[in-house]
Amino acid sequence: MKEFELKYGCNPNQKPAKIYMKDGSELPIQVLNGRPGFINFLDALNSWQLVKELKEATGLPAAASFKHVSPAGAAVGLPLSDIDRRIYFVAPDAELSPIACAYIRARGADRLCSFGDWAALSDVCDAATARYLQAEVSDGVIAPGYTDEALEILKTKKKGGYNVVQIDPDYVPAAQECKDVFGITFEQGHNNFEINEELLGNIVTDCKDLPQQAKIDMIVALITLKYTQSNSVCYVKNGQAIGVGAGQQSRIHCTRLAGDKADNWYMRQHPKVLALQFVDGIRRPDRDNAIDIYTSDEYEDILADGVWQLNFKVKPEVLTAEEKKAWIATQSGVTVGSDAFFPFGDNVERARKSGVQYIAEPGGSIRDDHVIATANKYGITMAFTGMRLFHH
């Protein structure tokens, strides 16, 4: 296949639209089911790069959940805990492969933002992964291959219209890439910068402790940021992005946004949230929305008479601001990555409130001494990578 005609571009008025190779060669993808659109392919190709690099850097299966050309979540395929299974709606006895665990964790980072996502898998999609995808609201998936059983499961989704794309895992893009904006062509070298553990050697804080899991988390954060619309900041724990702040003009707003998402992820594990008794047959998106509102400052909207009965069998107790603050204060072992330097120590101040103990950022601010001093104040380990990761 040398070109693929699209229904339209970013918007319905942008026609005609297609994807093709400028040199006239075959596309490195096959559409096995459905008819992906312009934004679908932007998500697919960006997310594939992320999971491919994450697998190469860690040796672990990797997955991502993309929306509007930024990851809502990304993760490597570590096993799910009992709590993970409960908050991600996985049966206690369900048999899960490493790649299924990777996608479940990637989607679990921010389930509201992952509604209608594009999924990316570093490994062949198996039946366990397909069954989980089948139950979620998702637009499509890209992977290097699919088992026969997985493909048949996915073909039943969205009344047979679910987008399934297979990519050649050996495909290497051209060294130079072009982009047209307002009729003007921009050209630059493809970002082939390799992110690995060697990038983490310049620890600039008094605390030098950097365990292996924190190194993996730094790599997850940095590779996620490499494919997140800038400015961007990413919080990671146990190989899973738990908060991504993308496309903000101010870095502190990125740090706050991603930190708030990390707090929301952790709030799903609060005993009161785990004890919620949902009505029978509630849809997953409705359950996600109910949890999100219940843990927010707008909890009265979901607990009002005549409303709570639509979601819960028993009216939940209020989760107070004091309880939420106390719970978030128990969070620890979190890593933060930033795609460019922290210009002020306020980013570190905000990050530590969400349990951050490790930071990876390029360094290079004229106030690096203040940023380092702030990290030292809280015993945080911070590595300067020396490499900016802007993505637009």
- Tell me which residues are annotated as active site: 67-68, 231, 392
What is the rounded distance in angstroms from the CA atom of residue 146 to the CA atom of residue 130?
A: 9
Using alpha carbons, list the distances in angstroms from residue 127 to 94, 278, 305.
12, 28, 42
Let me know: does 193 contact 387? Beta carbons within 8 Å.
Answer: yes
Which of 174, 171, 186, 344 is CA-nearest to residue 256? 344
Query: Both tokens of residue 31?
Result: 């559409």
Among 126, 142, 114, 115, CA closest to 49: 142
Structure-block tokens of residue 304: 């009002």
SS3 188: strand
Give the position of tokens 């809280």: 378
Whole-number Å distance between alpha carbons of 195 and 58:
10
80 φψ region: left (φ > 0), alpha (ψ -120 to 50), beta (else)? beta
Question: Coil, strand, or helix at residue 324?
Answer: helix
% helix, strand, coil for the chain, step of 5? 35, 20, 40
Phi, psi of 104 (to 5 degrees): -60, -40
User: Is the CB of residue 121 less than 8 Å from the CB of residue 99?
Assistant: yes
Strands 70-76 and 29-33: unpaired
99 closest CA partner among 71, 79, 69: 79
Please name the residue ranges forming H helices in 268-332.
271-274, 284-294, 300-303, 321-328
In angstroms, the CA 338 to CA 383 distance is 11
Of 89, 54, 392, 72, the C-alpha closest to 243 is 72
